[in-house]
């Protein structure tokens, strides 16, 4: 399989040219335009995350992806991620098989437990069941992927007997599981025969190599299907390093400090940001040359089949993100391919 390149967004509510925050509706319409551009410049995948809090505009990714499907022709469309633990596997499958029909077979899904917990009380789930909810629902979802009648029983959802879901997909639903870095989660992905997507949002990519090796060993042990490994990491591209750093810093600072106040993180600083954009950090921020070199290194180190750059962070403007997407498709992706070919 040829190396794929994706873009992800959580639908961060951004600032307009006047410096004021846009509405969630304006942000969502901008996401559709960003996806159109990504399709036009040759990006392979576009992912939209699910959140249920004021900083993010998208609570129903499938609706946004359906709008994107109508305006694009080739780019694959999915989530980053779908919080399966607080949703129903049958409804998730049906929504994505519907997206698959609308997009002519371009739908895929990235499932996750949810690093944000707002959806659990919102939809009536007990956080004490956090682990069991995901284990049971993932088990059911994997059975639904066969697109045959399903008989299933768990402890936290009503059982199914010879149940069939519709519509059917054109050629199956490509499914990944987003993992933050625990060995147990990696083994679970391998056991179910799904694709592994590593969310690397801190530290060097090399520290995740043992998890990639564990995934491949586990696939062999379980005898399940082997899939490419993907990485999701934040980034931003501009004409020069300084321009990219200056544009991106405010958004990274705002988002880190907002979440940090809830989770007990220390205040974000420019010094930490500069470390994060360097070789030892997980941010792919800079000129096309810098970003391409860092992506190529990560792909080589981890043996990836896909790299997804989370191009939206905090209040970074729509205009800056559009330029970043353009550079990603027209300059970064070709540079990475050449660097890898030269190696």
* In contact, 275 and 200? CB cutoff 8 Å: no
- 81 prior amide bond cis, ω within 30: yes
Q: How far is CA 105 from the centre of its chain?
A: 19
- For residue 47, the cross-strand partners are 8, 78
pLDDT, residue 56, reads 95
Give the number of other Cβ atoms within 10 Å of residue 123's Cβ. Answer: 13
- Coil vs helix vs strand at 75: coil
User: CA angle 80-85-90, nearest 5°?
Assistant: 90
Q: How far is the C-alpha of 133 from the C-alpha of 135, rounded, in Å? A: 6
| Dist. CA 265–CA 88, nearest whole Å | 32
pLDDT at 177: 98
**What is the rounded distance in angstroms from the CA atom of residue 145 to the CA atom of residue 233?**
27
DSSP states of 266-296? PPP-HHHHHHHTSTTSS-EEE-HHHHHHHHH
Phi, psi of 107 (to 5 degrees): -85, 145
Residue 239 is predicted with a pLDDT of 98
Which tokens is 175 given? 């499914």
Q: Find, among 139, 79, 140, the residue nearest to 111 by Cα.
A: 79
pLDDT at 263: 86
Going residue by residue through the chain, which has 343 residues, state the pLDDT in tens, using 9 for 90 and above.
699 999 999 999 999 988 899 999 999 999 999 999 999 999 999 999 999 999 999 999 999 999 999 999 999 999 999 999 999 999 999 999 999 999 999 999 999 987 788 999 999 999 999 999 999 999 999 999 999 999 999 999 999 999 999 999 999 999 999 999 899 999 999 999 999 999 999 999 999 999 999 999 999 999 999 899 999 999 999 999 999 999 999 999 988 898 888 888 899 999 999 999 999 999 999 999 999 999 999 999 999 999 999 999 999 999 999 999 999 999 999 999 999 999 8
């Amino acid at each position: 399989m040829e190396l794929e390149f994706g873009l992800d967004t959580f639908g961060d509510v951004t600032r307009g040219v006047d410096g004021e925050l846009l509405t969630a509706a304006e942000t969502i319409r901008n996401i559709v335009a960003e996806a159109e551009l990504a399709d036009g410049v040759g990006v392979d995948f576009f992912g939209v995350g699910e959140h249920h809090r004021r900083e993010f505009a998208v609570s129903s990714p499938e609706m946004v992806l359906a709008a994107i499907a109508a305006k694009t022709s080739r780019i694959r469309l999915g989530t980053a991620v779908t919080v399966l633990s607080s949703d129903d596997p049958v409804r998730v499958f049906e929504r994505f098989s519907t997206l698959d029909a609308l997009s002519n077979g371009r739908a895929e899904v990235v499932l996750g437990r949810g690093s944000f917990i707002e959806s659990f009380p919102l939809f009536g789930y007990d956080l004490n069941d956090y682990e069991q909810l995901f284990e049971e629902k993932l088990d059911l979802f994997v059975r639904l992927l066969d697109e045959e009648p399903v008989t299933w029983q768990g402890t936290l959802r009503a059982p199914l007997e010879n149940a069939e879901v519709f519509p059917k997909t054109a050629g199956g639903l490509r499914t990944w599981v987003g993992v933050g870095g625990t060995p147990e989660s990696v083994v679970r992905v391998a056991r179910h025969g799904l694709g592994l997507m590593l969310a690397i949002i801190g530290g060097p990519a090399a520290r995740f190599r043992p998890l990639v090796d564990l995934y491949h060993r586990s696939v062999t042990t379980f005898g399940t299907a082997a899939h490419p490994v993907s990485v999701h990491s934040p980034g931003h591209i501009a004409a020069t390093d300084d321009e990219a750093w200056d544009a991106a810093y405010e958004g990274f600072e705002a988002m880190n400090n907002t979440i940090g106040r809830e989770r007990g993180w220390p205040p974000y600083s420019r010094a930490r940001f500069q470390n994060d954009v360097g070789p030892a950090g997980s941010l792919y921020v800079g000129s096309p040359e810098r970003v391409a070199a860092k992506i190529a290194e990560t792909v080589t180190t981890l043996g990836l089949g896909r790299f997804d750059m989370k191009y939206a962070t905090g209040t970074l403007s729509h205009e800056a993100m559009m330029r970043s997407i353009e550079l990603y498709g027209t300059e970064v992706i070709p540079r990475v391919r050449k660097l890898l070919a030269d190696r």
